[in-house]
Amino acid sequence: MLQNFITNEFFHFFLIFMRIGVALSMMPGFSERHVMSKSRLLLAFAISLVVLPVLKPKFPPTPDSLELLVFLIFIEVFIGLFIAIVIKLIFESLQIAGVLISNQTGLAAAQIFNPGLAQQGAVYGALLSAAGIFIMFVTDTHHNILAAIIGSYELFPPGNMPPMGNFSEVVTHSVSKSFELGFQLSAPVILISFVIHLSMGMIAKLVPSINIFFVSLPIQVVVGIVVMMMTMTAMMSWFFSVLKENIFLFIG
């Protein structure tokens, strides 16, 4: 009797740990390269231990066959990956917006180390990504992310095959939403940049002797910085409103 109890408890804990651990290993803020893997594992272990008494009734009994055990583990890993990918795709809109802004302000060739990607990237992409992670923890949005992982057990009960068709539809929508949101975030800079290019084109026609490229580049850079300073607050507010909408899909 005691052996069966211990076996069931370990089985339930292991399945919970698989979903939470896989989700945290890819979740923005938790999956950054400067965050130690041991820290992520310890956090996933602690959360799994805390929610075990609450989620235990939702789990099926310990399977008798190895094939069924592997199937249950695969489902939990797949759901954890799905949750992390959906949220991570929304965060990628910051990188997309940063690349668009850098291209429009003449800073496309200026590369800076992006700690989130652990490689060189656009200046504004690194800025927006770092700001997004920072604001996520300051505003406790990461609590909503953890609540979404736990709330996913209501949407996707353990032991049941998830709806693959709906999963692919949500991922496709998240990809398109990421590009749409990236364009929306960079829209003010793109609009101002269009006005600058239009003005410089008119000046180049009126005064052909002016080296228009030499004159326009500093203006683009300075105006881009000014517009970013004026719109940064609204930009991040809009981003987090969209992010929370996607998080609440799992919380219900």
pLDDT tens across 145-201, in order? 888 888 888 888 887 777 777 778 888 888 888 999 999 999 999 898 888 888 888
Structure-token match 């959906």, residue found: 86
Contacts (Cβ under 8 Å, ≥6 apart) of 19:
76, 77, 79, 80, 149, 152
Residue 119 has which token pair?
């490689």
Q: Round the CA-based radius of gyration of the chain to a whole number and report it.
A: 23
**Kind and range of the H or E element at 236?**
helix 212-251
CB 58 within 8 A of CB 144: no
CB 178 within 8 A of CB 89: yes
Contacts (Cβ under 8 Å, ≥6 apart) of 57:
none
Q: What are phi and psi of 147, to 5 degrees?
A: -65, -35
Contacts (Cβ under 8 Å, ≥6 apart) of 132:
28, 91, 94, 236, 239
The whole-number pLDDT of residue 6 equals: 56
Q: What is the residue-averaged pLDDT of the chain?
A: 83
Identity of residue 187: A
The whole-number pLDDT of residue 119 equals: 65
Residue 79 has which token pair?
């759901």
* Per-residue pLDDT tens digits for 116-153: 666 676 788 888 888 888 889 998 888 888 888 888 88
Question: Residue 177's CB: how many other CB atoms inside 10 A?
Answer: 17
CA 40 – CA 115 distance, rounded (Å)? 17
Domain coordinates in residue numbering, the chain:
2-251
Average pLDDT over every residue of 40-61: 84
Q: What are phi and psi of 119, to 5 degrees?
A: -160, 175
Residue 16 has which token pair?
């919970």
Distance of CA 151 to the CA centre of its chain: 18
Distance of CA 52 to the CA centre of its chain: 26
Residue 60 has which token pair?
């099926």
